[in-house]
Amino acid sequence: MTSARLRKNASNIFKIFIIHLITIILLSFILLTSCKIRDNPDEQIIDYSDYKNKSSLYLFDYEKIVLESTGSIDVKIENCNLYLDIYEDLVILGEVKNDSKVNKTNIEITIDFYNKGGEKIISAAIPAHINYLRGGSRLPFYYYLTEREKYIDISKIKIGVNYKNCYERFEGNPIVENESYYYKEDYLIIEGKVINIGEGKIRNLKLFCTFYNDKNQVVFIKQCYLTREKMTGEEEQKFTLKVLLDEYLPVFTHYRFEVFFEDEIKTPA
């Protein structure tokens, strides 16, 4: 009986040992797969940055962030918007509006991020994709903030603009005529034409379409492909803009086109 009991106890102890061993292996596997180890063999420190970033995003509420815009009498920042996209990147969008009759150049949008204590924690400057903004025109802009580890600290965002006046009078004058739009399969298709109603030749022609939600906030921007970036006086060209209507696209209710250009440089006779 004593020998049998010893064998039974030994068997039980072995089973308990195996169970503990399996538990330790499983816990080690979970820890290694949820954390990253730095490559330096002399300093094997566990890096929990990914875990912290994901945890912070669960606590992060971008709707509580205060969005402020600054400008001048001539130039204003309008229709700003802020949201997390499907990739969990923080997106800031808006428009620069030239309320004056003077052309603006050297345009730069500034974005500053502040924490609850009023301390500036991030600064960004976005150069414009155009060289000139005519009077009465709007320039759409966007910025993706990918520093997710700082999302949780953001309390306020200030948007401003730097620019210079350009008193040159342009001879070209392109306008956009939006002829029609329709839906085909998963696409919204917009067709129209650009007409240079001015007398001078133009170059660096660019066409942007800005989409808005029901609050008139910018939700996304799309550049339209043009077959010619140069046009003569009274010339016109047609364009087609295709927008894929999928789950990545923010909800919008209306849109508008803005055209940008420069006068063709005249060569001495």
More confident site: 80 or 71? 80
Tell me how crowded residue 56 is: count the other CB atoms within 10 A of its CB.
15
Measured between alpha carbons, how far is 259 from 130 in angstroms, rounded to an integer?
10
CATH number at residue 198: 2.60.40.1620
Measured between alpha carbons, how far is 226 from 215 in angstroms, rounded to an integer?
30
Model confidence, pTM: 0.76
Residue 184 resides in a domain: yes
Q: How many helices (H) and strands (E) does the chain have?
A: 2, 16
Give the lowest-confidence range in 10-19, 105-114, 165-174, 251-260: 10-19
94, 120: one domain: yes
Residue 268 resides in a domain: no
Measured between alpha carbons, how far is 109 from 113 in angstroms, rounded to an integer?
13
Residue 89 resides in a domain: yes
76, 48: one domain: no
Measured between alpha carbons, how far is 88 from 151 in angstroms, rounded to an integer?
11
Structural domain ending residue among the three candidates 140, 166, 192: 166
pLDDT at 239: 97
3-state percent breakdown (helix, strand, coil) of the chain, nearest 5? 20, 45, 35
Check if the beta carbon of residue 229 is closer than 8 Å to that of residue 239.
Answer: no
Model confidence at 75, in pLDDT bands (50, 70, 90)? Answer: very high
More confident site: 40 or 224? 224
22, 105: one domain: no
Structural domain ending residue among the three candidates 109, 140, 166: 166
CATH number at residue 75: 2.60.40.3230
Q: End-to-end CA distance of the chain, in Å?
A: 120
CA dihedral sign of residues 232, 233, 238, 243: positive
Q: How many independent structural domains does the chain possess? A: 3
Write out the residue range of the structural domain in which residue 242 sits: 174-263
95, 152: one domain: yes
Residue 269 resides in a domain: no
136 vs 49, 126, 193, 200, 259, CA distance in Å?
Answer: 47, 21, 20, 20, 12
160, 195: one domain: no
Give the lowest-confidence range in 3-7, 13-17, 246-250, 260-264: 3-7
Structural domain ending residue among the three candidates 142, 166, 190: 166
Q: Give me the DSSP letters along 58-77.
A: HH--GGGSEEEE---SSEEE
